[in-house]
Chains A and B, each alone.
Chain A
């Protein structure tokens, strides 16, 4: 099983600041099949990024993804009030398909 470890567990930032979230895999992810999701309280997750760096439909360009093999990053260039949420990474390169434990981005 490919274990995904996200860091930090919680990120305390102010609106307008830059957020950098990390996702590290225990094994190299085939074809960089790594996705990022955003989840707000009481809502289902929303796909933000797939293929490590491709923005999903209607996702603002302040969200960007980078990385390869075992180390991946989600960057939010300037936090908007609606960006405070929990973010999960997920690999879909090999079964079983696994998620990271999440990073909470909270208002400082």
Chain B
């Protein structure tokens, strides 16, 4: 069974940093691209960032480009999101999501974690 477990969320002041982690299990992590998708309270979904299976391709939404960095450690079955210069509008539940297609980078999310809440406020 695929499991994705996010951690690292919390309350942070504007301008500060936070690092999210996602622990993956139940599948061969090395074979799949992984992504972060967020959902602001009571709002819709927004793709934030993605990384290919070998870290060769990384993408970011314009809203976070230059501030967020995605990375992965396949040996540890883990995905990360380093978030710098946080803004109140970054407040959201951050979901880790697995790409459906093995070896591809085509954000189609067949498994999701339960999410971790990030609140940016003074």
Contacts and interface: CB of A to CB of B under 8 A. Distances in A.
Contact of A92 (B45, B106, B114): B106
Contacts of A75: none
A33 B50 CA distance: 17
A47 B110 contact: yes
B61 interface: yes
Contact of B47 (A43, A44, A99, A100): A99
B61 to A, nearest CB: 6
Nearest to B62: A96
Interface residues of A, number: 22
Contacts of A57: 110
Interface of B: 44-47, 50, 59, 61-62, 95, 100, 106-110, 112-115
29 contacts: A33-B106, A33-B108, A35-B109, A37-B109, A43-B114, A44-B114, A44-B115, A45-B45, A45-B95, A46-B112, A47-B100, A57-B110, A88-B44, A88-B45, A90-B107, A90-B109, A95-B59, A96-B47, A96-B59, A96-B62, A97-B47, A97-B50, A97-B107, A98-B47, A99-B44, A99-B45, A99-B47, A100-B44, A102-B45
Given A35-B108, A45-B109, 10 more contacts: A33-B106, A37-B45, A44-B113, A44-B114, A50-B108, A56-B110, A88-B45, A92-B107, A96-B62, A102-B44
